[in-house]
Amino acid sequence: MEKSYGQGDPHIAEYVTRLFAQDDVVLGEIRTRSQARGLPDIAVSPMDGRHLEVLARLGNVRRAVEIGTLGGYSGVCLLRGMADGVLHALELDPECADVARESFARAGFASRARVTVGPALTTLPSLVAEGPFDLVFVDADKVSYPEYVEWAADNLRVGGVVICDNAFLFGEVIREPADAPNEARAILAMRRCHELLALGGRFVATILPTGEGLAVGVKVR
């Protein structure tokens, strides 16, 4: 999957990516090994990986949660931005979790990544005692995004940040749910997620206009 970046000109995207997200041996190996293990090609793009690293660094992040880890690509980006501390990586699929554990080990983060297998809504309660957190990255099943953002509102410190991938829902978020019966639940859930971020009173938030839409909210209360 070629995830886009920027204001639409592919030459600008290529130029910026070449400069800011140069070919990276560790991340490249994670993509190749994930593909070889049959994982879907849906990790964040190199530029979105860089956004995650920069945001983690900006937030002085030491305790983080990732919901939807796949093969560990975005998790390694987050850990690179974290000066120290632990990333709790939640993943439904044991095969993905296995690939992710290897990715974290190969990237030198074996001792700083804790992979938890199972549906996140079931496993998140076991993390509450480890919080409050500095950052929560949401990238799992889109229908549960509102619950994940509510969990983040309750388990981030004030000043902590929630980040949601795919905020544009692959272009579907503005479609009429009635015209898209298969995606209707996801459309309504993503809109609810946006409403929580924009109007819920707990966050100051925006959506960075990457190709996928990267929603970013800072917890204010």
Residue pair 152/136 in contact by the 8 Å Cβ criterion:
yes
Distances in Å between the Cα of 87 and the Cα atoms of 2, 35, 42, 129 are 27, 23, 20, 14
| 110 CB-contact burial (10 Å; exposed 0-12 / middle 13-18 / buried 19+) | exposed
For residue 150, the partner it binds in Mg ion, ligand SAH, ligand DHB, none, with Cβ less than 5 to 8 A by kind, is: none
Residue pair 159/86 in contact by the 8 Å Cβ criterion:
no
Q: Which stretch binds ligand SAH (CB under 6 A): 3-11, 92-100, 156-164, 178-186?
A: 92-100
Considering the complex, what minimum distance in angstroms separates the CB of residue 152 from Mg ion? 16
Q: Which residue is nearest to ligand SAH (CB)?
A: 68
Cα of first residue to Cα of last residue in the chain, in angstroms, is 37
Residues 6+ apart with CB under 8 A from 10: none
User: Of 141-170, which residues contact Mg ion (CB under 5 A)?
Assistant: 165-166
Is 196 a residue that touches ligand SAH (CB under 6 A)? no
Is 148 a residue that touches ligand SAH (CB under 6 A)? no
For residue 167, the partner it binds in ligand SAH, ligand DHB, Mg ion, none, with Cβ less than 5 to 8 A by kind, is: none
The residues that touch ligand DHB, with contacts defined as CB under 6 A, are 42, 139, 165-166, 212
For 102-138, the DSSP string reads: HHHHHTT-TTTEEEEES-HHHHGGGGGGG--EEEEEE
Among 21, 27, 44, 86, binds ligand SAH (CB under 6 A): 44
Considering the complex, what minimum distance in angstroms separates the CB of residue 43 from ligand DHB? 7
> Where does this chain bind ligand SAH (CB under 6 A)?
42-44, 68-70, 73-74, 90-93, 96, 119-120, 139-141
